[in-house]
Structure 1
Amino acid sequence: MQYKNIIRILGLLVGLLSVTMLPPALISLIYRDGGGLPFILAFLWCICTGFLAWYPHRFEKTDLKAREGFLIVVLFWLVLASFSAIPLMLLEEPNLSTADAFFESFSGLTTTGATILNHIDDLPHAVLWYRQQLQWLGGMGIIVLAVAVLPMLGIGGMQLYRAETPGPVKDSKMTPRIADTAKHLWYIYLGLTIACALAYWLAGMSGFDAICHAFSTIAIGGFSTHDASMGYFNSPTINLVCVTFLLIAGVNFALHYAAVQSRSVRSYFFDPEFKVFIGIQIVLTVICFTVLLATGTYQDVDQALDQALFQSVSISTTAGFATTSFADWPTLLPMLLIFSSFIGGCAGSTGGGMKVVRVVLLYLQGLRELNKLVHPRAIFSIKLGRKVLPDRIVEAVWGFFSAYAAVFVICMLLLLAAGMDDITAFTAVAACINNLGPGLGEVAANFSSINDMSKWVLIMAMLFGRLEIFTLLVLFTPAFWRS
């Protein structure tokens, strides 16, 4: 294991992270509402620590193997999310405990969107910006950015890319070189963020709110600058802008790249995962709209459609924005939406959950098993669109699903042991492992009322969800550490 090389890379990344502490400090100067000093101190701490880690090992530039790639990705999220908690711990208002600061920083960087903060509207602009910025940086994975802009890392970027990129098929690249792939991903990501911010601003948001919400929308994060989230604006136009960009961000970014390169949207309509993803959104919206009208929750048809569309897309894509408390909706809707977050967005998107393509493959595999019962001697293949998939991919999906279920059950049992009720425990784990944010019960509004043990368990759930289970689980196998 190339420990010196890994320390060198982490030092560079911590140094890069230090630069992200400066924009909140600048925001504090612009609005003159305090809160800037903790970010200056955190910048100094991060850049000094990064330098001390990098300098002694600056000449250790050898290619990483697959094992080092997995380790550096896990350490990347652990180390950078931990350093991201420093300015939050230094804040005088709000005065956060260590567990609270780590929970908020991990939730931001993993784009979970669960928060322990109350009275968000009263926070300094520097803190508001920083929370949104964390989600934006975590949305596509800062490692992809680091591989694109730091060629001096001297590593085989594909190992990092395969460990970081979500979805069961990871060896396909949009461009021949990994650095080019990462750059194209970020060009699209940045372009969508700018377009989203402009759309929010034109729809009536202030410039500050527009940029901040664009950060968390394209990252499918869910943090807001207001306690009422999107409900603060009470605007169907803003809701529609949010839904539009959540759907765009929930689609595989490789499809966006193909559309830009070909200057045609045909690639979307030929992609089976995209069609299922849109179908899920339509079905959820119709169910919510029908139930809301039938139960008289909203008397106005336009309002019912607006709320049904917004909450369906927000929860199912794992963003977690809110215009109302969906936990108070009638009958099956709250649990239906929570369960929809298990599917999440498409592979290669900024959404969480198990990913649409995995659910599709699980369904197709189930059909194949049923057909085998009827025709035991027949040979059935699984096709995704027109492409026949090897059994190895299907086996990997089943392996992922079983590991996902096991991690979910263990985290839930730990929360129950910590004294949490069953509905809160189930939905809290679902909200964190799916990188969703809001749950039901005690965690419907925020996570401030849960105890510290529960917060640390949920931080691990966030990491498992962000790293898609196996990237983290592989570190616990003895074979991984054998030379």
Structure 2
Amino acid sequence: MNTRMIGFLLGRILMVEAGLLALPLLTALLYGEPLMPWLATMLVLAAIGGALSLRKPERTALYAKDGFAAVALVWLLMSAFGALPFVLSGDIPNYIDAFFETVSGFTTTGASILTAVEPLSRGGLLWRSFTHWVGGMGVLVFVMAILPMSDGHTMHILRAEMPGPTAGKLVSRMSDTAKILYGMYFVMTLVMIGLLLLGGMDLFDASVHAFGAAGTGGFSSRNASVGAYNSAYIDVVTGIGMLAFGINFNLYYFLLMRRFRDVAKSEELWAYLGIVAFSTVTIAANIRHLYGAVGTSLRHAFFQVSSIITTTGYATVDFDQWPGYAKTVLVLLMFVGGCAGSTGGGLKVTRVVTLVKAAFMDMRKMIHPNAVVNVRMEGRAMPEKQVRGVQAYFSVYMLLYAVSWLLLSLNGFDLLSTFTALSACINNIGPGLGMVGPTGNFSAFAPWAKLLLSFDMLAGRLEIFPMLLLFVPSTWRGNRLRRWERRN
């Protein structure tokens, strides 16, 4: 374990977070709000970050377990310090509540302990949503995009932080890949802000909701979420925006490079769009009696399907009041999630497709034991190791889900609320059903339960393994073979 390099990296991250706080600081200044909470947090971050990154270690290589540990620690520390302004400003006086809210922000979950968001300071509201934007593409990917870093072994960081079963470079240099990803992400966010401004939002609200849609997070500046605007234009723009950010960003790069064939043959993309189309049409038919007009039913169905499958969590209506079929489909979409390489959470569409194909392959092998069959994706046979990796991930995911559900049930709430609260957190969605529905919140959970759900949010965003590896003793042991090689 290269602890010195991990410490150096943590220091640089904390200094970057200090710089990120300049945006809510400027917002507080413009709205005449107290600046002390932001300045004090920035000074603490700069002091600790500066001390950790004062001297770059001689050995800078980061191996697999170093990358996983670094990513997990970065997200924990970013959330721990990012909660301080909420406490210092009085927006969220309880630190555990503030930590839950900040973890929910950075992991792009959107679950909240707040009973009302409109009384928050403008700086606090912007910081809540800006954490979505930073966490959406990845904190360390963001740092790689803005700071010079050695490409040596940084692939381990990308693999630990980017959502999906595989992570690959768009170009030869990892730092250039990070710049391309964040460049596209930044431009798409600006477009989203512009379109929301055309719909009548002011710049502050447009920025808040664009950050939430881009990071597929869901924090809003209104208690009624996007439904507060009661605008078909804003509903459609936000719905399409969420859907766009739930697509693998590699495909946007292929479009820019005119590699249209690579986009057209993406099975994950077509599965994603097919699931959205099927869910929208059937839910619209199921809820038509509630809204009368077909157009209104389609609008609300499309928005909620787009919001849930991308794990954003915005709402235009209280879908907890919808019929059983519509709610069942939405709960299933919580687990499907967005595409790999997007800002969405959940299992990811590519994993779901792989699991279904692997199940049919195993059944064929049972019927025809001597047949040579394999899982094919986009016309190519998937390596057996990759298929087993997806199955192993699903097994660990379900194990973590079962343990968390068992512990969370000790809180004594009803089954539906407990189940959907955990589903919303581990899949980084935000709202569930029952007491944590679109009009509810997570404030009633005990402090220990909020910490458990915070862990689940981090585990869900980081694909589980980085968080679990923090509790494996061998993660923290030095590599004896490497030390022996250096001595000899």
TM-score normalised by structure 1 residue count: 0.96
Question: How has the CA–CA distance of structure 1 residues 95 and 360 changed in structure 2, closer, same or farther, with 3 Å as cutoff?
Answer: closer
Structure 2 counterpart SS, 1:339: helix
Alignment of 1:98-109 (within 5 A): 98-109=95-106
CA shift digits 1:63-93 (9 cap, x unpaired): 111121111011110111111011111122x
Q: How big is the shift at 1:2?
A: 1.6
- Please point out which of 108, 112, 115 is paired with 1:115: 112
- Pairwise mapping of residues 53-452 of structure 1 onto structure 2 (< 5 A)? 53-55=52-54, 57-92=55-90, 94-152=91-149, 156-170=153-167, 172-262=168-258, 265-293=260-288, 296-444=289-437, 445-452=440-447
Indicate if the aligned counterparts of 2:92 and 2:98 stay in contact, CA closer than 8 A: no
SS at match of 1:413: helix
* Alignment-derived partner of residue 459 in structure 1: 454
- 417-426 or 126-135, which moves further after superposition? 417-426
CA distance in 1, matches of 2:279, 2:111: 23
User: 1:1-40 residue pairs with structure 2 within 5 A?
Assistant: 1-32=1-32, 34-40=33-39
Compute the RMSD of aligned alpha carbons: 1.5
Q: State the one-letter code of the partner of 2:452.
A: V
Deviations 1:105-157, CA, capped at 9 Å, x for gaps: 00000100001112212222111111111110000001012122222568532
Rounded to whole Å, the distance in 1 between the matches of 2:441 and 2:365 is 47
- Cα distance, 1:418 vs. partner? 2.3
Question: 1:340–1:58: structure 2 CA closer, same or farther, 3 Å change rule?
Answer: same
Is the Cα contact below 8 Å between 1:25 and 1:37 reproduced in 2?
Answer: no
Q: Distance in 2 between matches of 1:429 and 1:38?
A: 32
Aligned 8 A contact 2:189 2:211 in 1: yes
In structure 2, relative to structure 1, the CA distance for the partners of 1:383 and 1:113 (3 Å cut) is same
Change in Cα spacing, 1:186 to 1:418, as seen in structure 2 (3 Å) is: same
Displacement of 1:374 in angstroms is 2.1
| Alpha-carbon shift at residue 61 of structure 1 (Å) | 4.8
Deviation sequence 1:295-335 (CA, Å, 0-9, x none): x2111222111111111111111110000111111122223
CA distance in 2, matches of 1:8, 1:153: 13
Distance in 1, Cα, partners of 2:59 & 2:17: 21
Could you tell me how far 1:472 is from its partner in structure 2? 2.1
Task: Provide the secondary structure at the position in 2 that maps to 1:83.
Answer: helix
SS at match of 1:222: coil
Distance, in Å, in 2 between the alignment partners of 1:419 and 1:161 is: 39
Aligned residue for 1:52?
51
Deviation at residue 266 of structure 1 after TM alignment: 4.3
> For residues 243-286 of structure 1, what are the alpha-carbon distances to aligned partners after superposition, in whole Å with 9 as ceiling and x for unaligned?
11111111100111111122x65433211000000000001101
| Cα deviation, residue 60, structure 1 | 4.1
Moved more, 58-67 or 450-459: 58-67
In structure 2, give the amino acid aligned to 1:396.
Answer: G
CA distance in 2, matches of 1:301, 1:400: 40
Judge conservation of contact 1:61–1:155 (CA < 8 Å) in 2.
no
SS in structure 2 of the partner of residue 227 of structure 1: coil
Seen in structure 2, the aligned counterparts of structure 1 residues 378 and 10 have a Cα distance that, compared at 3 Å, is same
Residue of 471, 475, 478 corresponding to 1:476: 471
User: Are the aligned partners of 2:346 and 2:427 in contact in 1 as well (CA < 8 Å)?
Assistant: yes
* 1:365–1:382 contact (8 Å) kept in structure 2: yes
Q: Provide the rounded CA distance (Å) in 2 between the counterparts of 1:188 and 1:121.
A: 31
Contact 1:111 1:222 in 2 (8 A): yes
2:185 maps to a residue whose letter is Y
Worse overlay, 161-170 or 396-405: 161-170
Q: What letter is aligned with 1:346? A: C
| Offset of residue 4 of structure 1 | 1.7
Deviation at 1:426, TM superposition (A): 0.7
Q: State the shift of 1:449 in Å.
A: 2.0
Deviations 1:350-402 (A, max 9, x none): 00000000000000011111212221211101100111111101100110001
Contact 2:240 2:306 in 1 (8 A): no
| 1:242 counterpart SS class | helix
- Asked whether the 8 Å contact 1:147–1:153 carries over to 2, the reply is no
Structure 1 residue ranges without an equivalent (≥5): none
Instruction: Tell me, in whole angstroms, the C-alpha distance in 2 between the residues paired with 1:134 and 1:151.
Output: 22
Identity of aligned residues (%): 38
When structure 1 is superposed on structure 2, of 330-339 and 457-466 the one drifting more is: 330-339
- CA–CA distance in 1 between the matches of 2:253 and 2:40? 39
Q: Tell me if structure 1 keeps the 8 A contact 2:312–2:344.
A: yes
Equivalent pairs, count? 476
Distance (whole Å) between structure 2 residues aligned to residue 60 and residue 16 of structure 1: 22
Alpha-carbon distance in 2 for matches of 1:82, 1:95: 14
SS of the residue 1:297 aligns to: helix
TM-score (norm 2): 0.95
Determine helix, strand or coil for the equivalent of 2:290: coil
- Judged with a 3 Å threshold, the aligned counterparts in structure 2 of structure 1 residues 455 and 61 are, in CA distance, closer, same or farther, namely same
Relative to structure 1, the CA distance from residue 35 to residue 437 in structure 2 (aligned partners, 3 Å threshold; closer, same or farther) is: farther
Return the letter of the residue paired with 2:363: L
